[in-house]
Structure 1
Amino acid sequence: MKRRERSWMYDRLDGRSIKPGFLKGVEEFIRFCEEHRETAKNEYRCPCVKCNNRRFQDPDTVRIHLYSKGFTPRYWEWLCQGEGLPESSVEGQSNEYRDMVMDVVGHNYDRSGTEAAEEEPNAEAKRFLDLLKASEHPLYEGSSMSVLEVAARITSLKCEYNLPHRCVDGFVSLLTEVIPGSSRLGETFYDVKKVVKGLELPHEKIHACAKGCMLFWKEDAELPTYRVCGSDRYNRIFKGSLVPKNALFYFPITPRLQRMFATKNLSEEMSWHANNPCVKGTMAHPSDTEAWRQLDTCFPKFASDPRNVRLGLCTDGFAPHGKFGGQYSYWPVILNPYNFSPSMCMKRQFMFLSLIVPGPKNPKGNLDVYMQPLILELKQLWEVGASTYDISKKQNFNLRAAILWTISDFPAYGMLSGWSTAGNKACPYCMEKSKVACGSFRIGSIC
């Protein structure tokens, strides 16, 4: 049992001095890392309490950290250094999909279920181990692609080309027939999704009033009826489950921003605006605008770290079913990070869907009710921040974010700001000079 053999890991000090058994054990650990290191560089993940397998360090630094801080709790099996993984992962070649797993969950999964060799890993530890296994196991014997890589690429293609579910089912089924031997992927798209499920980002379904008067959220989460209008919360019972009259889908923005800094090819790009100064008299990036400069002037502490994120918020309604689906519209709320270069700022993968406001009609003056979860999170990111690991600099920092502006048409502008966009003073810039026709504001009449 590794736990008994490595009891020295958590028996470090004898008074103020380090025990000889611990010194000998650390040297054993260093030798193991040398034999199983992931990259050509003489660096490997440091398992001390502070680094927690997130940072790559040279051997001397690893020794110093372990001597002064000790090992991270319950780390009996050296998974992050390659122990227990297939030999293909330790041949000196980097596995980007294994790195992705380590960056996402490898440093913070709950190891409490693996304290004793006889016990089964808990759900969180099993998720991590399954992902590592999928990132290392080839699709079939002799394949150069891992199970995780193929599953991730199939999922990406489905989203990119909007492929029907049944189409992907057929494609996966055909793939299992074509490849030699037995495939570890499965035969349906459901099996593919199970492989990549551990990498998914959190989301929340919040019950809402059909009239948009309130959310069943925070202190109102357990109420059976609407506190404002008094109507019932649930519409009917379907297969033994209560069906809410309406539901808001909320996708927190913080984990997605943190994951960008945990991704090697994106973390450096998050400081592009600071490393590429603008040319005077030109506007090629949002950092060239007056709004950006004003934010930096008013809040110099926020501007001092170029990794802090500037966001744009946009919203509008759309009919998901087209003209054949009746009058039904959703209102997505999307956030764009502007830290990237101009060629990346407006790419679809960096347009973060944060809210899906339910229909069937537009929310009108109740849009602020649906935006409560997002506003609370944005206030947290502005006032407190979120502890984030920057893999490009191999350091933790406090990530903060700010909304620079909102982007919308004029009716949506009225919903977002609360400004009346009809009648007198319809335009917030023209004010008394706003032109009014037939009691409604005409967009083309803005001066």
Structure 2
Amino acid sequence: MSIERTSSSHESFEQYRESYLTKVAEKLYQDPDHPEKEPRNRSIIYVPYHGVDEGLQQDCPDILFTDSGDQKVTKVLSETDVIINIARGEEVVEAEIGHPDRNVKLPPESVANTDMVSDLYVRAIESGNTNVQVVHTGRMNNKTIAMATAMPILAETAGLNYEEVIHTSDAKIRKLVEEKQVDLNDLIHEVDTDPTMQDMQVCTRALRRIYEARNINPDTASSSELTDALLDEYKNYPRISTSTLMKEQMLQNVAEKLRSEGKSEKEINEVVGKLDEFTDEEPDSVDTVTNFTNSIPMILSDKLIKNGYNADEVGIMSTEQKMELLADTEMTAVIVADIAHMPRVMWLADYLMPDNFKLVFVESRTDLDKETLQKSMEREERSFGLGSNWLSNQMGTRNPAKVGELADNAYWGKDSISNKEINDKLKNNN
């Protein structure tokens, strides 16, 4: 089916977009683990929001382009195992009164993605597919990694458990810090020099990154200057996951859509209750790579449990074991992302998702102007170039478990330990 553009007003953007899509299509079906098997074979359906030129369809013969209303999409939704909502950044705002942990607003792209996922989910259940899983991915700006890693130090200066920090107002944290008067100079020195606190040095390294970005020398600055900088950094730290916000929005969207269709409150509650049960929130990821490496095990687990496997047994399986058990089970994943993000999302999904998945990519209705879209897509193309080299050449594997481990080490450091472990060590050293 030919899906052609309906407007010539975006000609420059469309030309750029189609050139980028062609580059991405040329990189599909790679397999660095088994180069002798390239190109791999996989069913890919692409549902563009704005349509594409017929020439692009000819340049990408392995991709089936179609529109959202096509019968093929309806059939796919009736068979879909999972719909994946790809997060797109976050906007830190002033926290809601009485809810210090709710200081994040979804950007337009994530709102549009969630609206599209909601529509697709309703279409799926109306086609008879009532067991479809929904996965909302989380997103953390990589600029917040240092603050996330330094959280146990902030908790220590306030006399709180690190898990309590995000539920405490900024004003209360500052008051607690002033009352406890922990000397950050001394704490940093103690952690850096005490062999028994070696595991916590990941926190002081993170603190130093925060101070370095602010042109503060932690070895010469006063403790009050260090404390003020840390508290100021925390003000811009997102305290609720985008995946939680997208889940909340989708539950509301689906209820409203069913209500507009004349469904009874009992019917609505049943559908929304089941949607809530079958929804998974992926923990905050630094990038789209880890969105997938975190989500894939959840998707495989859900399928195994629905196939009759014991949930406790599935819970202790490795990702590789899950992939092996489902290798001969054909599955379908519908992935929703915004226009600018989608080409890179498509490449990553094909690269990381097991080969038993059919992939369907649906662009969301992001009503951004063409200049904003093009700038966003240009950033995405740069990320695609770096990411494809990082995964296929430097990592040299598409095994999602291995890629996830390598990515986590790259972002968080090979010596990092969980905040809970760090928090416990701080308490034990007091």
Q: TM-score, normalised by structure 2?
A: 0.23
Higher helix share: 2
**Higher RCO, Cα 8 Å, sep 6+:** 2
TM-score, normalising length from structure 1?
A: 0.22
Q: Which protein is bigger by CA-based radius of gyration? A: 1
